[in-house]
Chain A
Amino acid sequence: MTSPASPSSGDPLPAQDLGALTEETRRALADDPRLGQLDVSITLRGQRALLTGHVVTGDRRRLVGEVVGEHLPGYEIDNATTTIENLPEPPATAEELAADR
């Protein structure tokens, strides 16, 4: 198993630094008034940052990638977040529930 490397120097990044960097970036997504995004998961492995979770629009998805890129210079951003634009047609059935007896 190899330690994560600092993208700028190539040296392994201590685990606590990696955690701090992840949290700082996550906080930036929450604090950015254009996003207010709390639930994007950031996974740092080697020189890559994998982003997962849901955002509402394609514009917000692009912004998430930009903000993360600004906070993780040198990392290759793999933006795997999904949008809920173009929602499928609503379901044809409704779930039936009996009233309490």
Chain B
Amino acid sequence: MIHVAAVGDVHFGPDAAGTLRPHFEHLPERADVLLLAGDLTRVGAPDEARALADELDGVGLPVVAVLGNHDYHCDRADEVRRILEGVGVSVLEGDSVVVPVNGSTLGVAGTKGFGGGFVGACGSEFGEPEMKAFMAHSRCLAERLERALSGLDTDVRVALLHYAPCPDTLLGERLEIYPFLGCYLLGEAVDRGGATLTVHGHAHRGTERGLTAGGHHVRNVAQPVIGHAYRLFCLDAGGTGGDPECAAPALTGA
């Protein structure tokens, strides 16, 4: 079993310093990797990234992240990325990382992703240059995700996104904004590349559980949705299945 902890949309800043770290103290006893599904900062300012980096520094397990739309707002996403990488966080964008876990391997492919909408109500690369650019960006990131997933030769594959790959996990959000919350192209990328689990954030009023069109598991781990510091998953590398809820390693001293 590979234990994965995941959370998105922590929207961190100096004013939140110290609020996450206590929950991460015993995380290495419960999980093999921590996934951060974007919107790591409030507006993508370097001091906000530093505050989160301080929270993650020496946390004791591999941390893999993608950036979210908030992390781009100040046009300093490269600095945000470098600050997080400075404390050992792997920040993915169209690429992947392999985490060895007790003789097995976990591959994580990640992208921020982008909007565009879902089947029956989605944009297309047609008309004005701005509309073409919008959808081309979404398609490009989805294609990179598919390549990253397909290139993983690991026991278990996970897709890490900020935007949603299916509409199921948006339930609770206003229908009018679905095209700004995710894109079916991401779901197609997951279905073609293959992933035991896909996690995303971005949809604060959404729903936790969903499936891609091809039946791959999708989980919305935006912190306002899960209501915890993180959500835990145990992934069976052998494909034998098991109970839908498995006991997480107990917290000690927490």
A residues whose Cβ falls under 8 Å from a Cβ of B? 33, 35-36, 38-39, 53-54, 56-57, 59-60, 84-85, 87-101
Contact = CB atoms under 8 A, between A and B. Distances in A.
A37 to B, nearest CB: 8
Contacts of B155: 99
B127 interface: no
State the majority secondary structure of interface residues on A: loop
Contact of B246 (A85, A94, A99): A94
16 contacts: A35-B42, A56-B11, A56-B16, A56-B19, A84-B223, A84-B224, A89-B228, A92-B248, A93-B245, A95-B219, A96-B242, A97-B233, A98-B240, A99-B155, A99-B156, A100-B195
Interface of B: 1, 3, 5, 10-13, 15-16, 19, 23, 30, 42-43, 45, 70, 73, 155-156, 194-197, 204-205, 216-217, 219, 223-224, 227-248, 250-251, 254
B196 A90 contact: no
Given A90-B30, A94-B234, A57 B244 contact: no
State the majority secondary structure of interface residues on B: loop
Given A33-B43, A91-B228, A97 B247 contact: no
Given A56-B11, A99-B156, A36 B73 contact: yes
Contacts of A99: 155-156, 196, 235-239
A101 B13 contact: no
Given A56-B16, A87-B228, A88-B228, A94 B248 contact: yes
A54 B204 CA distance: 8
A38 B155 CA distance: 38
B224 A91 contact: no
Nearest to A59: B15
Contacts of A91: 228, 231-232, 248
B242 A98 contact: yes
B15 A96 contact: no
Nearest to B239: A99
Nearest to B205: A39
